[in-house]
């Protein structure tokens, strides 16, 4: 299934929502330990799947080292697992500079979910353990067959770097603006 793109304007709007610093009640961290979290199920919504993974990553070493990353791998689609696994390889990938802000992060905030009944995208703002911020787009697909038929699973997670994007229009309040 091809991954559809999101427009620059939509991305800027979603990042703006996340930068307001307000955490919607639906994105407040769960108190459930990562190991006790649910497994893929047709009963879970795309946003619930993202929240389960974020909670697991925030508590990555509870109850065992890298159990949070293992929970994230459990929610990766079969195609995603085939490309990024087995688990030891996946753990190494998540611990690279690209994804490391998610591991043991302080806080996460979710923008409104976008998509349809087959694909959903969830933009997430992460406040890393060191206080820096990072943005990630979770891309989820509803599985159409096999063991996980009807389950929302992560097809990919992409680091979004708004600091590298050119502004859509000049800021009239910027120093030196006419």
Question: pLDDT tens, 83-97?
Answer: 999 999 999 999 999
Q: Which residues contact 36 (CB under 8 A, 6 or more apart)?
A: none
Asked whether residue 1 carries a pLDDT value surpassing 70, the answer given is no
Question: pLDDT tens, 91-119?
Answer: 999 999 999 999 999 999 999 999 999 99
If you average pLDDT over residues 114-142, what whole number do you get? 97
Q: DSSP letter at 36?
A: G
How confident is the model at residue 21, as a pLDDT? 44
The answer to pTM > 0.95 is: no
How confident is the model at residue 161, as a pLDDT? 86
Q: How many CB atoms lie within 10 A of CB 95?
A: 14
For the chain, domain boundaries: 46-116
How confident is the model at residue 37, as a pLDDT? 74
Asked whether residue 155 carries a pLDDT value surpassing 90, the answer given is yes
If you average pLDDT over residues 53-62, what whole number do you get? 97
Asked whether residue 25 carries a pLDDT value surpassing 50, the answer given is no
Model confidence at 29, in pLDDT bands (50, 70, 90)?
Answer: very low
CB 171 within 8 A of CB 177: yes
Sign of the dihedral defined by the CA atoms of residues 66, 70, 73, 75, in that order: negative
CB 129 within 8 A of CB 106: yes
End-to-end C-alpha distance for the chain, whole angstroms: 47
CB 113 within 8 A of CB 47: yes
- Residue found by looking up tokens 């989820």 in the block: 140
Question: What beta strand segments (E) does 79-130 contain?
Answer: 107-110, 114-115, 119-127
How confident is the model at residue 36, as a pLDDT? 56
How confident is the model at residue 166, as a pLDDT? 44
């Amino acid at each position: 299934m091809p991954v559809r793109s999101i427009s620059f304007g939509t991305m800027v709007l979603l990042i703006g929502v996340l930068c307001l610093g307000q955490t919607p009640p639906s994105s407040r961290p769960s108190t459930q330990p990562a190991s006790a979290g649910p497994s893929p199920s047709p009963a879970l919504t795309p946003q619930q799947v993202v929240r389960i993974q974020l909670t697991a990553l925030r508590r990555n070493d509870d109850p065992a080292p890298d159990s949070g990353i293992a929970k994230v791998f459990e929610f990766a689609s079969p195609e995603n697992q085939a490309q990024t696994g087995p688990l030891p390889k996946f753990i190494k990938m998540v611990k690279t500079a690209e994804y490391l802000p998610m591991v043991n992060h302080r806080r996460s905030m979710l923008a409104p979910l976008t998509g349809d009944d087959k694909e959903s995208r969830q933009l997430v703002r992460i406040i890393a353990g060191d206080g820096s911020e990072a943005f990630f787009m979770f891309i989820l697909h509803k599985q159409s067959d096999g063991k996980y038929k009807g389950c929302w699973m992560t097809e990919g997670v992409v680091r979004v770097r708004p600091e590298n994007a050119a502004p859509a229009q000049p800021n009239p309040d910027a120093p030196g603006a006419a």
